[in-house]
């Protein structure tokens, strides 16, 4: 799978609205056949920062995502709310779901 995490620094006046501002993009991405997950979290250290954790089945699913109409629309509409260019980590791993964190196993 392609595993991606990215940090989005939102302009302070839009930070509380970010989940709603990104809602259409989020829902459309989650509906893509090759999307495994697409989850936003808000930083506990910086209330203006959101982190996205997303995964796609393979290269084809990743390509379908970045060429989709909703992705192109997000490229046009969402940057106006950003304080800076998002930062990303993107890599391929040989699995298609979350693994258990054995060091914190719950019995």
Identify each DSSP E strand in the chain by its residue range: 2-9, 35-42, 49-56, 87-92
Asked, for residue 106, whether it belongs to a domain, the answer is no
Q: Is residue 101 included in any domain, yes or no?
A: no
Count, in order, helices (H) and strands (E) of the chain. 4, 4
Residue 54, domain member (yes or no): yes
| Average pLDDT of every residue of the chain | 97
Task: Write out the residue range of the structural domain in which residue 58 sits.
Answer: 2-96
Q: Say how far residue 40 (Cα) sits from the centre of its chain.
A: 6
Residue 107 has pLDDT above 90, yes or no: no
Q: In this structure, is residue 104 part of a structural domain?
A: no
Token couple for 71: 């992705």
Statement: residue 47 has pLDDT above 90:
yes
Confidence of residue 68 (pLDDT cuts 50, 70, 90): very high
Kindly report the CATH number assigned to the domain that includes residue 33. 3.30.70.100
Which pTM was predicted? 0.92
Q: What is the number of structural domains in the chain?
A: 1
């Amino acid at each position: 799978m392609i595993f991606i995490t990215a940090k989005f620094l939102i302009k302070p006046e839009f930070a509380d609205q970010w989940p709603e501002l990104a809602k259409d993009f989020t829902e459309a991405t989650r509906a893509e056949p090759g999307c495994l997950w697409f989850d936003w979290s808000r930083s506990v250290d910086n209330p203006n920062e959101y982190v996205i954790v997303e995964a796609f089945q393979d290269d084809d699913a990743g390509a379908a995502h970045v060429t989709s109409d909703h992705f192109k629309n997000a490229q046009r509409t969402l940057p106006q709310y950003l304080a800076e260019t998002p930062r990303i980590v993107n890599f391929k791993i040989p699995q298609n779901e979350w693994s258990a964190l054995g060091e914190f196993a719950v019995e």
